Amino acid sequence: MSRYLLDKFLYTVDRDPELVERYREDPAGTVAWWETERANKILNCVDAEDSTWLGFTEEERRALRTHDHVTLFELGAHPFLTLTLFIAMFEHDHEPLGYVKAYAQRMSHIQLPYPDITT
Amino acid sequence: MAELAAVIASTHHPFYYKTSQLPPKDRPPFAEEWITKIERFRQTLTAAEPDVLVMVGSDHFHQLWLDNMPQFLVGKAPFFDANWYNEEREFGLPRMLLRGEEDLAAHILRDGLDRGFDLAFSNELRIDHSITCPIITLRPQADLPIVPVYTNIFAPPLPQPRRFVQLGRAIREMVESWESDQRVAVIGTGHLSLELGGPRQFGEHGPDPEFDRKAVDWIASGDIDSCLAEVSLESLHAPGNATHGFMDFMLMMGVAANRAGEGQKADHVETVDLFHTMEAYFTWYPDGVPEREPDGRLSSAASSASEERSESGGEQ
């Protein structure tokens, strides 16, 4: 389980307009590239000082590849990061509030207590 | 010593700016009431004639990240750029530049450390909508220097609710021990019940109206004890998964407390029931509601506080 790395993916993609579009268009390719090239990068540090130990589980990788925000929630990814990025990718195809209401509807089976998001 | 001119607590709805910028004919039906109440709220800060603003908010994973996460952080810099690409993208917020008040920031850092708050600091901080929303609603000319104070209500493990109240009480004492003749307003923003990214988001009203009613009562009446007795890190999951932002309101109840640490009734209370969240606005005047003398100077008259309260408190 690597909640931190899920959050790191969502965070680093959401803040970069090119990556937002790339992840929307090619989720599988973007996730594979990111895990190889970016997952171990300590933000604000030079390449020579990358980490050496970070990787997704297969379940996490699959959730990201398939834009599966419900599973991301169930895995404990930070809900604010997921929502913000998914609004950026998909809301413009919907009526006002239509996307965020459908997003909630797809999670309607989830009961309290919600999955822990502590990293 | 500096004077605590006003204490203000508010929700920070990122869509207010966009809503208020629309031509009246294009505005949604709730806009008029919202804008009217915000303009009245703005008057409560204007009347206090502040020189400096201490701004309490929470970074939403913009500059503060999980590889290096402070619990409480003070911004000490001559300027603060503001708002981020994803806030422009999602909320239509403008880029802003605010001046910093470094002398007060340095005083809060030194005095806070000496009081047992291990405050982190930043000398280059790009602030986000938790601070710019209240600038837009309360001081749109953005002309006053600020001291940002960020709290972690976002990335668990979080500090306990009582710690927010304690820091609020300390901020009041620290402002009042600043060797300056400036008038300081402390403005903080948080949330009532709120769900983001979960099944209860964007409903017909906030996810827990019962919590909202109790929360507004606690804040408006300054009932810190009841609030602390009921609110815990665990209990805040129930009203909505983003409700830990309520702890910034608890911090502001601490700032508004009297010198004995007892919570105080707010002098201005207003709420707006929006479609997916309740907005709430509170102002306290620790030294009485400001009044104008005939010659234009400010004076403070505690006797007028109760009148103001009865006029504006009826809508809570």
ipTM of this complex: 0.96
The predicted model gives B104-122 an average pLDDT of 98
Window 241-260 of B, Cβ < 8 Å to A: 241-242
The residues spanned by each domain of chain A are 3-105
Q: In this predicted model, which residue has the larger pLDDT, B2 or B275?
A: B2
Question: What pLDDT digit, counting tens, does each position of B114-161 carry?
Answer: 999 999 999 999 999 999 999 999 999 999 999 999 999 999 999 999
Q: How many domains does chain B have?
A: 1
B300/B47 Cα distance (integer angstroms): 11
Question: What pLDDT digit, counting tens, does each position of B21-55 carry?
Answer: 999 999 999 999 999 999 999 999 999 999 999 99
Residues of B in Cβ contact (< 8 Å) with A110: 198-199
Alpha carbon of residue B193 to chain centroid: 16
* DSSP run (H or E) holding B99: strand B96-99
In B1-24, which positions are buried (b, 16+ CB within 10 angstroms) versus exposed (e)? ebbbbbbbbbbbbbbbbebbeeee
Question: Please, which pLDDT band fits residue B229 given cuts at 50, 70 and 90?
Answer: very high
Of A50-59, B269-278, B284-293, the range with the highest mean pLDDT is A50-59
Residue-level pLDDT at B296? 52
In the structure encoding, which two tokens stand for residue B61, read together?
């994973």
The predicted model gives A40-65 an average pLDDT of 97
Residue-level pLDDT at B301? 46
Question: Is B277 part of a structural domain of the chain?
Answer: yes
Contact state of B61 with A81 under an 8 Å Cβ cutoff: yes
Residue-level pLDDT at B135? 98
Selection from B192, B34, B65, B193 nearest residue B128 by Cα:
B65
B248/B54 Cα distance (integer angstroms): 13
Kindly state whether B156 is in contact with chain A, defined as any CB-CB distance less than 8 angstroms.
Answer: yes
The predicted model gives B106-121 an average pLDDT of 98
B56/B83 Cα distance (integer angstroms): 15
Residue pair B300/B288 in contact by the 8 Å Cβ criterion: yes
CATH number reported for the structural domain that contains residue B134 in this entry: 3.40.830.10
Contact state of B196 with A79 under an 8 Å Cβ cutoff: yes
Kindly state whether B201 is in contact with chain A, defined as any CB-CB distance less than 8 angstroms.
Answer: yes
Strand B52-57 and strand B72-75: the pairing is unpaired
Q: Which residues span the domain enclosing B187?
A: 3-287
